[in-house]
Structure formats: C-alpha cells, structure tokens
C-alpha cells in the first residue's frame, strides 16, 4: 500500500472517532494527530484494529483502534458479553470474575469492563484491588462463573496493557470459544454499540473472601513440610517488582512455614511505571538487580522475583564459587518436575497415572527425566492455556503433577489453570529447603540433575521489529525459513524439521509424517543429528520473532559441567551464525 493510500485510510478511520460516542479528551487527541504534519502517530494508532486474538488483547496504551483504551477494551467486553449470553442462554444468571494488575489504567479498564458486563445483565465479581492472575483463574471455578478476565500485560514494558479472557474451567479460552468470541468482538464497529452504563446491583466486590481459600489451596501444593520445618530460618529475598505478588506471596511463604523472608522495600510499592527497573520482567537479569544485591547483603539462600501479574517467577542462588547466579526458566522447570517426581516416588504416591506437561520450545531434558521415571510427558504449544487443556482432557482419568515452560512459568496445581508464581515461589523455596536438608545448595541440586540425566543449555533470542514495517519483516522471515529450511546447523545435519502450521514433520530423506496437535501454530523446529534443537516463532503478544536454541552434552560428574557449559556457549554462537541472527 502506498503511503498516501495508507494516510487516507487511517484518516478515514480516525475521523470516525470524532463523534459524540467518544469522550472529549479522546477526540482532542485524535484532532492533534490529524493536524500533525508528521503522520507517524496517526498511522501507528489507526493502521489496524488491535486484534482480539486467541490470547485476548495486548498493546500500547493510547488513543486509536490499534491501542489499549476504554473503547478497544469496551468492544472486547461487549463482544465477550454477547458470546456468553448466546452460549449460556439457559442459565438464570451468567457470572464473571474481573481482576487486574498494577499497570496504569488497569483499574480503569477493569471497572469499565465490570460496568459493561453488568449493563448486559451479567453478574460481576470485581476484585477490590490488584491481584495475581492465577488467583483470578482460581476464582472462576471457586465461584462457579462462566468466564473471567484479567487486565494485565504481564511482563511487558510500562507502555503496554492487556486483556486476557478465561472460560468456565479457569483457563484461557480455546477453540471453539476463542474464534466465537473473536467473531462477536469483530461485530462491534462503533463505540455507540458498547453498553458502558453499568448496573451496580450486579457488581460484587471481592477480596479476602477469595484470598483465603486460594492461599489454603496453594498450601496443599507442599510435599515435604518436614524439610521446611528443619530449614524454616533459611534466608529468602523476594521482590514483586512493584506488582501484584506483594499482595499474596510473602503471606503464602509464611503459611508454608518460612520465617525469614525479606522483601525489597523499594519494590514493595505498587507502581505502574515500574520506576526501579528498565523492564519488569524477571527473565531479564536487570529486573532482579536490587533483589540480588539484597541477597548478597544478608547472605540469603535464595532470591525470587515475580512479574507484575505474579504468574512468572525468576530465581537466583549461589553457585559453587559462592557467586550469585540466575536460574533460567528451563532450569527452574527441571527443578520443579525433578523434585515432584522424586518426592512422589519416595512417598509411594505414584499410581502409574501421573503425567507432566511441557511446551514444545521447553528443554527436552524434561522428557528424559519423565521417561526414566516412567512418567507420561505431553508436549503442547506455548502458553498455559494449552497446558490447562491437557489437565482438562485427563481430569478424572490421569493425575496432573506439574507443567511448565521456558518463559519462567510453572503450574504445580489444577485448582488454578494458569501459570502461578504464588505456588511456584513457595515450591521453589521448599525445594531449596529440601536440598539444604541434604547438605546441598539449589545450584548443586541442578548440577546433580545434569549428571544423572545429561547436560543441556538453552538460549532464547528475541529479534524486535516494531510497527507495521516490523510486522511485515517478521512475516517475511517466517516465509523464508519455511521455504528454505536449513540442511545443516552449526556443522550438524538437520535430521528432521517440524512445521506446526502445516502439521507435518519432514525427515532428511524426505519422508513426511503428520504431527498430532489440536490446532495449527506458526512455529518451525529443526532437530540436528548431534541433538541440537532450534525453534522459531513470531511472538503472539509483542513485535518480535523468537528463536529458541538448545544444545546438549553428556557429563560424568559435577566437575565436567564447567567445560560442557563453555563448549555449549561456543555451539550456540555457531548455531546463531548458521541462522543469521
């Protein structure tokens, strides 16, 4: 599309926002963008509609069809309301839970949504303040609701906000409901079609009456309370990075029996600008700087951080040299599942029906652990809605004992159907206590897992491409990888590749087999003869294309891990060079 055509298109779209259906402040901002000779802001705000995708909405806050504001949030809620009324027409009273995080405008968006639901005759349970995403998920089933939403952009930068929709099982919506809701949202063409005027009689404020049963449920995740009792004075540093974790995680750790939890005072202040960090993402070392500094000062055993909506957890511990080291998402997932399986076996709790779940981009070492312990392991797409789907499919038939992904999320339970930093923080603290009970640090426990099951090292690379031009570039990159798959990577022949968009696996000799997955996804994977695995996918929530690299090695003892780690770093560099990243 030529630039003048694009400007004409966005101008026409923007002018529709100059009607009485939009508030004066919004109209003034639209007029400013229209009058500006530089049309960049206008194009970015209106070149497309912020899509209500399978993960809901996520975008930069501001005025425009491609921004998070009360009108795009309102259209999403009106569409969801219409879909709920069609699906549950026989119910006397449809009900939903509405939660939100600490972000700027999150309370405004949650109250706006509550008003719209209630204006449509839907009963709303609105949290009295910010709460973790997993608690909202728990509340749906606890209160017997048909749906729920949370206003959050998770770990995204401060400019973002988001809207995630959940179904009656407490998990994010999947087929056929995702497409059905999207269809209803797309029917909302104008703000005048949104029922903004709420019915206060249908809005009930909730808080402690959900907090207490949720925390009681979290307590049931504990497997070895004796280890905690022995190590109750273990020093733990925790930070919520200004987010919702501060409401429940210190309280949960205390309930589990930990007596020496120290919080980072500067980050225990709710702040939608996340003033003490560049980005509130515990996957980034920078976000944990203050917590690790405090950990050094008090000689802590463990440092933990949760992201703004408290569904991800980042961990740091001392290595064998006494230096603080970050534990990545793959490693924490290994620690959780190794511990759960080991303890279940020790306690005689294994029935033969247990299963664990990981996402396709998460370390293959988990499969080795599961296989060696005769536990079924299921691979699913990225996102906990897919892990929750496996839990739902096997409910009453098999026993879910844990699931996780490389992006710092773990779900140790089935009472919440999303990744849960509240239970995950408590469980990793218990694992550290259990290791200490055996004279090991958490780091040494990780080394021992490598010795027993093999060493792997993973690296995630995100190539950011913002704006419309970036989206086009990402699309072209995926086309190029799909049409010209690599024959070798870092000197090792590609044994087979998986294309989850076509659901086909192609071997090096040309043999093609079908992949058994519930849906298609724009993900490519390459497996080489030396055990290297590379996954490529565009992010569904951010303007980036993601590469996941995993390389492997055998190690005979703890001492040989250092050399394996160094060799892995070199191998990863070679892989990146092969892929041109």
Q: Which residues are catalytic?
A: 154
Rounded CA-CA distance 110/105 in Å is: 8
Rounded CA-CA distance 240/343 in Å is: 29
Closest CA to 418 of 427, 409, 426: 409
Rounded CA-CA distance 437/428 in Å is: 14
Q: Helices 329-346 and 421-437, interaxial angle, to 10°?
A: 60
Give the contacts of 312 (CB within 8 A, at least 6 positions apart). Answer: 154, 155, 281, 282, 283, 306, 407, 408, 409, 419, 421
> What is the residue whose two structure tokens read 């496996």?
390
Give backbone dihedrals phi and psi of 255, rounded to 5 degrees, phi first. Answer: -60, -30
In degrees, to the nearest 5, what angle opens at C-alpha 72 toward C-alphas 68 and 76? 120
- 141 touches 135 (CB < 8 A): no
Closest CA to 425 of 437, 438, 408: 408
Rounded CA-CA distance 306/287 in Å is: 10
Query: What number of other Cβ atoms are within 10 A of residue 242's Cβ?
Result: 25
Rounded CA-CA distance 456/263 in Å is: 32
- 438 touches 13 (CB < 8 A): no
Q: Return the DSSP state at 102.
A: S
Q: Return the DSSP state at 53.
A: B
Closest CA to 409 of 358, 473, 471: 358
> What is the residue whose two structure tokens read 């060799």?
567
- 66 touches 48 (CB < 8 A): yes
- 400 touches 221 (CB < 8 A): no
């Amino acid at each position: 599309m030529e630039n003048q055509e694009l400007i004409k298109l966005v101008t026409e779209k923007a002018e529709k926002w100059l009607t009485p259906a939009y508030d004066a402040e919004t109209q003034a901002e639209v007029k400013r963008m229209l009058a500006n000779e530089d049309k960049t802001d206008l194009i970015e705000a209106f070149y497309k509609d912020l899509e209500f995708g399978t993960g809901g909405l996520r975008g930069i806050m501001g005025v425009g069809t491609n921004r998070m504001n009360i009108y795009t949030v309102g259209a999403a809620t009106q569409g969801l309301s219409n879909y709920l009324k069609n699906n549950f027409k026989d119910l006397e009273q449809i009900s939903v839970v509405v939660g939100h995080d600490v972000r700027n405008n999150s309370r405004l968006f949650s109250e706006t949504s509550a008003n719209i639901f209630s204006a449509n005759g839907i009963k709303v349970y609105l949290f009295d303040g910010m709460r973790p995403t997993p608690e909202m998920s728990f509340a749906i089933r606890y209160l017997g609701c048909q749906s729920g939403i949370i206003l959050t952009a998770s770990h995204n930068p401060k400019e973002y906000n988001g809207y995630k929709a959940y179904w009656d099982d407490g998990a994010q919506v999947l087929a056929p409901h995702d497409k059905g809701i999207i269809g209803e949202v797309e029917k909302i063409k104008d703000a005048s079609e949104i029922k903004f005027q709420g019915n206060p009689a249908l809005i009930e404020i909730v808080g402690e009456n959900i907090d207490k049963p949720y925390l009681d449920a979290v307590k049931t995740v504990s497997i070895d309370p004796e280890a905690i009792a022995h190590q109750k004075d273990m020093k733990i540093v925790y930070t919520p990075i200004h987010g919702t974790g501060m409401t429940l995680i210190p309280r949960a750790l205390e309930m589990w029996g930990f007596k020496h939890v120290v919080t980072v005072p500067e980050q225990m202040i709710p702040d939608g600008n996340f003033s003490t960090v560049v980005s509130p993402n515990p996957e980034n070392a920078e976000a944990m700087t203050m917590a690790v500094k405090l950990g050094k000062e008090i000689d802590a055993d463990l440092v933990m951080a949760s992201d703004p909506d408290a569904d991800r957890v980042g961990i740091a511990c001392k290595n064998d040299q006494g230096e603080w080291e970050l534990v990545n998402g793959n490693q924490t997932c290994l620690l959780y599942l190794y511990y759960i399986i080991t303890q279940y076996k020790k306690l005689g709790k294994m029935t033969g029906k247990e299963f664990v779940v990981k996402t396709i981009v998460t370390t293959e070492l988990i499969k080795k652990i599961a296989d060696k312990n005769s536990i079924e392991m299921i691979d699913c797409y990225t996102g906990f809605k897919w892990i929750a789907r496996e839990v739902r499919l096997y409910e009453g038939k098999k026993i879910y004992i844990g699931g996780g992904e490389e992006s710092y999320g773990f779900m140790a339970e089935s009472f919440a159907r999303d990744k849960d930093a509240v239970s995950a923080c408590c469980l990793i603290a218990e694992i550290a206590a259990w290791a200490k009970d055996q004279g090991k640090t958490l780091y040494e426990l990780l080394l021992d897992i490598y010795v027993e099951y093999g060493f792997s090292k993973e690296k995630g690379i995100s190539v950011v491409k913002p704006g419309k031009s970036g989206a086009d570039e990402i699309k072209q990159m995926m086309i190029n990888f799909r049409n010209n798959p690599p024959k070798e990577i870092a000197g090792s022949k590609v044994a087979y590749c998986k294309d989850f968009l076509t659901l086909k696996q192609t071997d090096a000799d040309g043999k093609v087999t079908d992949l058994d997955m519930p849906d298609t996804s724009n993900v490519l994977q390459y497996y080489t003869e030396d055990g290297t695995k590379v996954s490529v996918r565009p992010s569904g929530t951010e303007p980036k294309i993601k590469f996941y690299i995993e390389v492997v090695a055998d190690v005979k003892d703890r001492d040989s891990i250092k050399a394996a780690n160094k060799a892995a770093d070199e191998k990863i560099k070679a892989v990146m060079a092969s892929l041109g990243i």
